[in-house]
Amino acid sequence: MPAKIAIIEDDQAISEMYRFKLEASGYVVETAPNGKLGLTLIEQMRPDLLLLDIRMPEMGGDDMLKKLRECDWAADIKVIVLTNISRDEAPSVLRFLGVDRYIVKAHHTPAQVEDIVREVLHIH
């Protein structure tokens, strides 16, 4: 069964670019434009992995992840933060919320992000 990935990203062009790349590789992918809708999507989808932006309208990625980690069923969901905020500028709370990788979008191609997804999901 293919891995399920939720992309929580407010920039639709970026979200669709990653969706296209990951679906072409056989993943099941759903997207949401902010953390509030992301929580609903994740509850319905129960993904294996999140690609999560930080700065978004309505609810940012850090607040969404904090709420998500309060749910027992969400403790094992892998998280890749995919943002243009440098690690130094990122909310410090992320360190305590089980983030598997932190990626600055501008420094990685979609193919490199896909490689990191495979690595985090232990798919070879």
For 37-60, what is each residue's pLDDT tens digit? Answer: 999 999 999 999 999 998 888 888
Q: Which two tokens stand for residue 116?
A: 């990191």
* pLDDT tens digit sequence for 84-123: 776 666 666 666 677 898 888 889 999 999 999 999 999 8
End-to-end CA distance of the chain: 15
d(C-alpha 69, C-alpha 54), whole Å: 16
The DSSP call for residue 105 is: G
DSSP 54-101: SS-SSS-HHHHHHHHHTSGGGTT-EEEEEESS-TTTS-GGGGGTT--E
For the sheet containing 78-83, what is the strand order? 28-32, 4-8, 49-52, 78-83, 101-104
Residue at token pair 């979008």: 105
| CATH number attached to the domain at 4-120 | 3.40.50.2300
User: Positive or negative, the Cα torsion across 79, 42, 83, 118?
Assistant: positive
Of residues 70 and 88, more confidence is placed in 70
- Is pTM, for the whole model, over 0.75? yes
Separation of alpha carbons 38 and 50, rounded Å: 10
